[in-house]
Amino acid sequence: MDVGTFLAIIIGAVFVSNFVLMRFLGLCPFVGVSKDPDSALGMGMAVIFVMTMASLVTWFIYVFILEPFGITYLRTIAFILVIATLVQFVEMVIEKTSPALHRSLGIYLPLITTNCAVLGVAVVNVEDFIATGLPLGASFIYTVVHGFSAGLGFTLALVLMASIRQRLQLGGVPKAMIGIPITFIVAGLMAMAFQGFSGLKI
């Protein structure tokens, strides 16, 4: 456990294998909520929060329930239930404790349950950090850091895309390409730029 490993995990999740542009996770909100930068940022914040929480909770579920009882094949069912419950719970807590935050994040929270990036981060965590036999403490910290930075990468891609789309409204996009098709072309160009990070080694 040293600073280099943390840096590698963070840079890896934000740039090198960006969840949206390199791993193709969370494309639905990426296409749906990227119309203006402000709501993109709101959605991004909600996703960072839920992804970090989901990484934390699924780590406990996997290490203390699924593994000791030898039922790791129930991973998918357990994780999706926990994530769905967690999102509901987070929404209720935010609504009670901070109505202002709820007003800005609230509409995005239900959308997150079906965001494949959240279940994706939990599964990637299991495969990269938990099932690889790291010591408990290390795998816990790596999992949480990875969850947080994966959310950060998602937010980065979402906000970049929203800003580009705002500019695109002024440009002369061919009629057949307006909306989702041009979004995909722009995403392709962004992915090309992000491909440049793939040689990055720390």
Residues that bind another protein (CB under 8 A): 21-28, 31, 73-77, 79-81, 84, 114-116, 119-120, 123-124, 127, 174-177, 180-185, 187-189, 191-192, 194-195
Which one, 101 or 191, has the nearer CB to another protein? 191
Q: How far is the CB of 79 from another protein (least distance, A)?
A: 8
Q: For residue 161, how many other CB atoms are within 10 A of its CB?
A: 24
Q: How far is it, in rounded angstroms, from Cα 100 to Cα 79?
A: 30
Q: How far is it, in rounded angstroms, from Cα 64 to Cα 143?
A: 15
Among 60, 125, 68, 124, which residue's Cα sits nearest to residue 86? 60
Q: How far is it, in rounded angstroms, from Cα 156 to Cα 197?
A: 15
Q: How far is the CB of 17 from another protein (least distance, A)?
A: 10
Which one, 85 or 98, has the nearer CB to another protein? 85
Which one, 9 or 124, has the nearer CB to another protein? 124
Among 91, 52, 60, 90, which residue's Cα sits nearest to residue 78? 60
Token pair listed for 65: 């329930």
Could you tell me how many helices (H) and strands (E) the chain has, helices first?
A: 9, 0
Q: For residue 25, how many other CB atoms are within 10 A of its CB?
A: 23
Q: How far is the CB of 109 from another protein (least distance, A)?
A: 14
Name residue 70's amino acid: G
Q: How far is the CB of 21 from another protein (least distance, A)?
A: 6
Q: How far is the CB of 63 from another protein (least distance, A)?
A: 18
Which one, 75 or 104, has the nearer CB to another protein? 75
